[in-house]
Amino acid sequence: MNSLELVDSFSEFKELKSIDKQTMQHVLEDVFRAMLKKKFNTDEHIDVIVNIDKGDVQIFVNKEIVADGEVEDPNTEIAYSDAIKIEPDFEIGEEVSEEFRFADFGRRNILSLRQNLISRILELEKDHLYKKYKERIGEIITGEVYQVWKKEIMVLDDENNELILPKSEQIPSDYFKKGESIRAVVSKVDMRNSSPVIILSRIAPEFLERLFELEVPEVFDGLITIKRIVREPGERAKVAVESYDDRIDPVGACVGMKGSRIHGIVRELRNENIDVINYTNNPKLLIQRALSPAKITNIEIDEEQKRASVFLKPDQVSLAIGKGGYNIRLAGKLTGYEIDVFRDGESDAEDVDLEEFADEIDSWILDELKAVGCDTAKSVLELSLEDLVQRTDLEEETVQEVLRILRSEFE
């Protein structure tokens, strides 16, 4: 392989991987110098000239002219009689530049040189990919599903770089097939075995924030600010928004006419319920909005403990807690307060705590009832059979038996 073939082959590699000419030139010079240093024990007397555009490499070895019979190192010195054969005007003490031919490397060294070049180019590619995606953390990307495994999905971006979407970063109801288009946010970039691994996420709050930027121009332009986002991926999300322009209704702009803007986001998130609320610095008002659609009677706040006691009418408790407790849990995360729910008139002396029935009703059934805001006998009896079946995961027969036991307590 001559210099032309060698550089040409890496010029093609450069075009494929978008490595700039200057970087390519430095890599070629470094690799050639390393090989020459190994051959001559030094590279101080050698000039390497790389011309990427022409696909050419020239190597010149500079030797000092010494008197005949005084050559100690033929790599760096040349006898006067040999020097005047090149140029008759040379004198002792001057330097002679001889072009080093690739044939003098030997076939084994040429192959070694090529291997070193490939290794350096791959290192550059890995470094380039790592830096590129390190700067894109938090950005949304669109890729194509290339391979689906049990614990993760491999995604290819528009440059055919491999990205990973772990099962733990997927929405529980996500289902993708090979060849499908997929959107996710760049979560983190790790180095494993000297190779960059780009991790994607569809459950990160940043993914929902980027989707709002795509669907709501006012958010993208900065007219509406997303203050906080909390999510239970695939189930429910709460987004607090604010606008410094009084003419803009931030909630209305995010939801869109007849929900046109929010529907696109909901579909992308596999029908995740999204509550958009107006942000405020007033903690009581923020808690009230966060617990929507429940209507609150009164709120007492303990700033030191960061706890909030919320009082509601009995029929509003289950709304505040929500199915599976998602509503109250997300409200707590959004506001930063531990929220305790109480019923107005909860001190009814005739009421009985559900724990009192632990010997008659299984503990898992009691837990189901508490999850929907029912922690006393009367709070359960206030709801109809249909409501209890709909709001819990209990069978109708089980609910009927629970109601029978509770009613017998007051008969």
Q: 405: domain CATH number?
A: 1.10.150
Nearest to 125 by CA among 17, 197, 22: 17
Q: Residue 100 to residues 43, 49, 69, 166: CA-CA distances in angstroms?
A: 13, 12, 23, 53
Question: Phi-psi region for residue 122, left (φ > 0), alpha (ψ -120 to 50) or beta?
Answer: alpha
pLDDT over threshold 70, residue 298: yes
Condensed to tens digits (0 to 9), the pLDDT of residues 315-329 reads 788 888 888 889 999
361 vs 154, residue with greater confidence: 154
Percent of the chain predicted with pLDDT > 90: 44
Measured between alpha carbons, how far is 308 from 311 in angstroms, rounded to an integer? 10
410 vs 122, residue with greater confidence: 122
Measured between alpha carbons, how far is 196 from 179 in angstroms, rounded to an integer? 23
Question: Which among 185, 201, 217 is the end of a domain?
Answer: 201
Give the count of beta carbons closer than 10 Å to the beta carbon of residue 137. 14
Environment class of residue 114 by beta-carbon count within 10 Å: exposed (0-12), middle (13-18) or buried (19+)? middle
Q: Are residues 75 and 140 in the same domain?
A: no
Give residue 208's pLDDT: 97
Residue whose pair of structure tokens reads 């107005």 in the numeric block: 344
Give residue 355's pLDDT: 80
Give residue 239's pLDDT: 97
Task: Say if residues 208 and 239 touch (Cβ distance below 8 Å).
Answer: yes
The residue-averaged pLDDT of 222-236 equals 95
* 181 is a domain residue: yes
Q: How confident is the model at residue 349 (pLDDT cuts 50, 70, 90)?
A: very low
* 92 is a domain residue: yes
Give residue 287's pLDDT: 95
* 150 is a domain residue: yes
Q: Are residues 159 and 80 in the same domain?
A: no
Measured between alpha carbons, how far is 116 from 132 in angstroms, rounded to an integer? 24
Q: Are residues 114 and 164 in the same domain?
A: no
Question: What phi and psi values does residue 256 have, to the nearest 5 degrees?
Answer: 85, 165
| Structure letter (DSSP) for residue 361 | S
349 vs 331, residue with greater confidence: 331
Q: What is the CA radius of gyration of the chain?
A: 36
Q: How confident is the model at residue 8 (pLDDT cuts 50, 70, 90)?
A: low
Give residue 26's pLDDT: 78
Q: Are residues 113 and 181 in the same domain?
A: no
List CB contacts of 111: < 8 A, sequence separation 6 or more. none
Task: Say if residues 116 and 105 touch (Cβ distance below 8 Å).
Answer: no
Give residue 139's pLDDT: 96
The residue-averaged pLDDT of 126-131 equals 88
Q: Are residues 28 and 66 in the same domain?
A: yes
Q: Are residues 121 and 178 in the same domain?
A: no
Q: Are residues 78 and 192 in the same domain?
A: no
pLDDT over threshold 50, residue 1: no
* 364 is a domain residue: yes
Task: Say if residues 134 and 128 touch (Cβ distance below 8 Å).
Answer: no
* 340 is a domain residue: no
Condensed to tens digits (0 to 9), the pLDDT of residues 152-197 reads 999 999 989 999 999 999 999 999 999 999 999 999 999 988 889 9
353 vs 266, residue with greater confidence: 266
List CB contacts of 101: < 8 A, sequence separation 6 or more. none
Residue span of the structural domain in which 170 resides: 136-201
Condensed to tens digits (0 to 9), the pLDDT of residues 369-391 reads 888 878 788 888 888 888 888 88
Q: Peptide bond before 166: cis, by omega within 30 degrees of 0?
A: no
Measured between alpha carbons, how far is 75 from 390 in angstroms, rounded to an integer? 91
Give the count of beta carbons closer than 10 Å to the beta carbon of residue 58. 12
* 50 is a domain residue: yes
pLDDT over threshold 90, residue 205: yes
Give residue 272's pLDDT: 93
Q: How confident is the model at residue 102 (pLDDT cuts 50, 70, 90)?
A: low
Q: Are residues 128 and 141 in the same domain?
A: no
What is the enclosing helix (H) or strand (E) of 343?
strand 338-343
The residue-averaged pLDDT of 81-102 equals 79
CA torsion 133-138-144-148 (nearest 10°) is 100
Condensed to tens digits (0 to 9), the pLDDT of residues 47-88 reads 777 766 666 677 787 888 888 878 777 777 788 888 888 888
Q: How confident is the model at residue 393 (pLDDT cuts 50, 70, 90)?
A: confident
Measured between alpha carbons, how far is 373 from 323 in angstroms, rounded to an integer? 9
Percent of the chain predicted with pLDDT > 70: 91
The total number of structural domains that make up the chain: 3
Q: Are residues 18 and 84 in the same domain?
A: yes
Q: How confident is the model at residue 104 (pLDDT cuts 50, 70, 90)?
A: low
In DSSP notation, 155-204 reads: EE-TT--EEEEEGGGS-TT----TT-EEEEEEEEEEEETTEEEEEEESSS
Measured between alpha carbons, how far is 254 from 292 in angstroms, rounded to an integer? 17
* 10 is a domain residue: yes
* 187 is a domain residue: yes
Q: Are residues 85 and 111 in the same domain?
A: yes
Give residue 351's pLDDT: 73
| Structure letter (DSSP) for residue 282 | -
In the three-class reduction of DSSP (H, G, I as helix; E, B as strand; rest coil), residue 31 is classed as helix
Task: Say if residues 395 and 362 touch (Cβ distance below 8 Å).
Answer: no
Residue whose pair of structure tokens reads 């010029």 in the numeric block: 11
Give residue 18's pLDDT: 57
Tell me, what CATH number does 121's domain have? 3.30.1480
Tokens representing residue 59 in the block? 């190597």
Task: Say if residues 222 and 212 touch (Cβ distance below 8 Å).
Answer: no
Mean pLDDT of the chain: 85
